[in-house]
Amino acid sequence: MLFDFPHDPKKNLLPFDGEVYYYGKVINQQDADNYFKVLMETLEWRNDEAYIFGKHYVTKRKYGWYGSRPYEYKYSNSIKKALPWTKELKELKNLTEKVTSESYNSCLTNLYHDGSEGMAYHSDGEKDLKPNGAIASLTFGAERKFLFKHIESGETVTTFLEHGSLLVMKGTCQTYWKHRLPLTKKVHSPRVNLTFRTIVE
C-alpha cells in the first residue's frame, strides 16, 4: 500500500463546528484498480430502500452493509442487518484504521453507476452510531465532487474524491454539517464508496 498523502491530512477542511480531513490517494493506482474490480464483482449489491413521509422509494444506487457482527443499522425508516466482512473489506478496514488511528466495526458500501446517481444533503447522525465518532470514506472508480453545507449558516465547502482516496469526518461534523454527492452529466463511469463507521454495541 502507498501512503504518500498528497494532501495535508492535518488540515481541517471545515472552517468551524466539526472536522473533515482529506488524505488524497492513500492506495496506489494498481491496487486501487484491483480493489475496484473485486468490490464491483464480489460485494452483495442491493438497491437501497427508503420510506419517506409514508412513501416507499427504491434507488438506482446500490448498497451493502457489512460488519464484525450482524449489526442492525436504521436510516430512512429502513433496517439493514450486517453481512460478514469479505477478505477485501477486512483488508481495507485494517488499512483505514492504520492511516486514521481510529477503529471501525462496520461499513456501508455504495455503488453509483454514473453521474446520474448521487446522494442528497444528509447527516450520518443515526443513534446506532458512536456519538461524534469518525466515519472514514474510501473512494474507488470515478472521481466525484463532494459538498458540505452548514446547517445554520448555509456556508458550503467543496472537495473532490479521487480514485483510491480517503476522507474522514469526525467530531461534531454530523451535528452541524450536512453532506451530499451531487448529480453530474460529466461522469459516465461507476464509483464504489466504502464508509467505515462504528456501531455502538
Residue-wise pLDDT tens digits, 58-86 = 888 999 999 999 888 876 667 888 999 99
**Predicted confidence (pLDDT) at residue 191 exceeds the cutoff of 70:** yes
Q: Got the DSSP string for 77-99?
A: TEEEEPEEPPHHHHHHHHHHHHH
If you average pLDDT over residues 164-172, what whole number do you get?
A: 97
User: Per-residue pLDDT for 8 more than 80?
Assistant: no
Q: What is the pLDDT of residue 193?
A: 98
Average pLDDT taken over every residue of the chain: 92
What CA–CA distances, in Å, run from 150 to 79, 111, 187? Answer: 28, 26, 26
**pLDDT beyond 70 at 5:** no
Look at residue 178 in the predicted model and tell me its pLDDT: 98
- Structural domains present in the chain: 19-197 (2.60.120.590)
Q: Which residues share a beta bridge with 193?
A: 110, 139
Tens digit of pLDDT for each residue in 127-136?
889 999 999 9
Q: Does 2 have pLDDT greater than 60?
A: no
8 Å CB contact between 192 and 110: yes
Higher pLDDT, 7 or 144: 144
| pLDDT above 90 as % of the chain | 80
In this predicted structure, what is the pLDDT of residue 176? Answer: 98
Model's pTM, two decimal places?
A: 0.92
